[in-house]
Amino acid sequence: MLQTEHNESLAAAIELSLASAMFRELGPDARGLLGVVAFFPQGVNENNVDWLFPTISDRTKVFDKFCILSLTYRSNGFIRMLAPLRDYLRPKDPNSSPLLCATREHYFTRMSVRVDPDKSNFGETRWITSEDVNVEHLLDIFTTVDPNSDSVWKACVNFMRHLYWHNKRLTILKSKIEGLPDDHRFKPDCLFELSQLFGSVGNQVECKRLLTHALRLWRQRGNHAMAAQMLYMLSKANRLMHLPKEGIQQAKEALGILESLGDTTNQAHCLKSLALLLRSDNQLDAAEEAASRMIGLIPEKGNQFLVCESHRLLGVIYQSKGETKKTIHHFKLALEIASPFNWHGGLFSTHYDLAILFHNEGRFDDAQAHVEHAKSHTIDSAYNLGRAMELQARVWYGQRRLEEAKTEALHAADIYKKRGAGKNVEECRELLRKIEKGLNNPVASGKPALNCEPVNDVISCAY
């Protein structure tokens, strides 16, 4: 064996293990199982073998034997395989492996569960945080080998929705999605979910471009409800890009469509966006009126998430009107509603808003407490961690803890840079210039202005 070429000797060594009595005793599915482990970059999650391989009896025992034979190894909860073994054992044609195709369907079925923070099973959908690399690889391969499959593209939509709620990041599937023909059944859905991922990492320019494309496709198909959703989401993107007048026009157009359709729940969502846009345009009384209309449309039961968001919205508006007591009252109501559900996005945003409020009033100790709470709710979003770290730097800058502020701002800028959030990077650089100026002029004093958007939208965008 050692006298043969490298690749041939490697294959011979692997085949010796597969020909052993111990391996043959594992049954006819053993090699197929190895092929599945080899296919996935992370290997197979030990906690998920029951739902991934329900037809394999003694599956735990089989994986134990794989490790004994040094065909696999365990690491951080996954059953993994060394690269040379992966190259040799993974299926050259994924469709030729019945076990891999069955595993794919199990993933697709699990992703089909609606991700809704108002539902009791919301926490169960967090499984994607440990499996996202595997699922993304699965979709990347099958969108290539089976590009006309509706089930594959539907799973792609569901995957991005899971990422948006539980692991905010971009995806390598972007080029494949944009490369779909405009008449492809799932292209507008894919464009929409992709736009939300870009928005979740702070790239509103790309978010707006994708939404505009999706809006055109839905209008061509005559789907008024989905066109209204795109208009609503465009209004959000324009607000975050500091284009309130364009956003107000889009929100009102979407609201008119939803009123004609009798869709009160999504009218409430749209009124939230309109209220925030009016606030951005300094039309504070009109913003308060829109928020009050929103509350009147929310059902009394079964929509706690939207109720929570309505209180946070009123807190933001009263903050702009300088009514501090009302601001704190509504923010605390939002925290009381969100805490039992452990809604990390909403809890992060409300603590973040309170930290800004106290920072602007010079109450740095109170601001510090809420920054720490906000950081504890960034587990699903590196971008939000960057925002919390930037705000932490601003609090320390206000306290003249300049060295600590510099270190924190550098970390925040690094996070933003890795996620393509260019505007946030520039804001961090501006803060760093102020910190450096303070370090070079120790006698300087005074409270810095907080140059960041005090609102972070974390609302359900599913229609």
pLDDT (tens digit per residue) in 169-203 = 999 999 999 999 999 999 999 999 999 999 999 89
pLDDT tens digit sequence for 381-432: 889 999 999 999 999 999 999 999 999 999 999 999 988 888 899 999 999 9
Query: What pLDDT shows up at residue 8?
Result: 65
Q: What is the mean pLDDT of residues 116-130?
A: 86
pLDDT of residue 203: 94
14 falls in which pLDDT band (50, 70, 90)? confident
List phi, psi (to 5°) of 80.
-115, 175
What is the pLDDT, as a whole number, of residue 268?
92
What lies within 8 Å, CB to CB, of 196 at 6+ separation is 160, 161, 164, 207, 233, 461
C-alpha pair distances (Å), 212 with each of 209, 236, 237 = 5, 13, 11
Task: State yes or no: pLDDT of 142 exceeds 90.
Answer: yes
Right CATH number for 6-93 from 1.10.10, 1.20.120, 3.10.310, 3.40.50?
1.10.10
More confident residue, 336 or 380: 336
Enter the pTM of the model. 0.73
Report residue 314's pLDDT band, with 50, 70 and 90 as the boundaries: very high
The predicted pLDDT at position 459 comes to: 31
Could you tell me if 360 and 397 are in contact, meaning their C-beta atoms sit under 8 angstroms apart? Answer: no
pLDDT tens per residue, range 15-74: 888 888 889 999 999 999 999 999 999 999 999 999 999 999 889 999 999 999 899 999
What is the structure's pLDDT at 445?
A: 47
* Chain mean pLDDT for the chain: 90
User: Quick one: tokens of 375?
Assistant: 């950081």
Residue 83: what residue type?
Answer: A
Nearest C-alpha neighbor of 71 from the set 21, 37, 24:
37
Average pLDDT score over residue span 149-157: 96
pLDDT digit string (tens) for 263-303?
998 999 999 999 999 999 999 999 999 998 998 888 766 67
pLDDT of residue 394: 95
Q: Which range has the worst mean pLDDT, 150-164, 180-194, 330-344? A: 330-344
Region(s) of the chain under CATH 1.25.40.10: 349-463
DSSP SS3 for 301: coil
Residue 7: per-residue pLDDT: 56
Tokens read off for 450: 């907080």
Rounded mean pLDDT, 147-165: 96
For residue 81, is pLDDT > 70? yes
- pLDDT over 70 at 450, yes or no: no
Which residues of the chain are in CATH 1.10.10 domains? Answer: 6-93
Q: Candidates 3.40.605.10, 1.25.40.10, 2.30.42.10, 1.10.1270.20; correct CATH number of 349-463? A: 1.25.40.10
DSSP string covering 19-56? TSHHHHTT-TTHHHHHHHHHHSTT-EEGGGHHHH-TT-
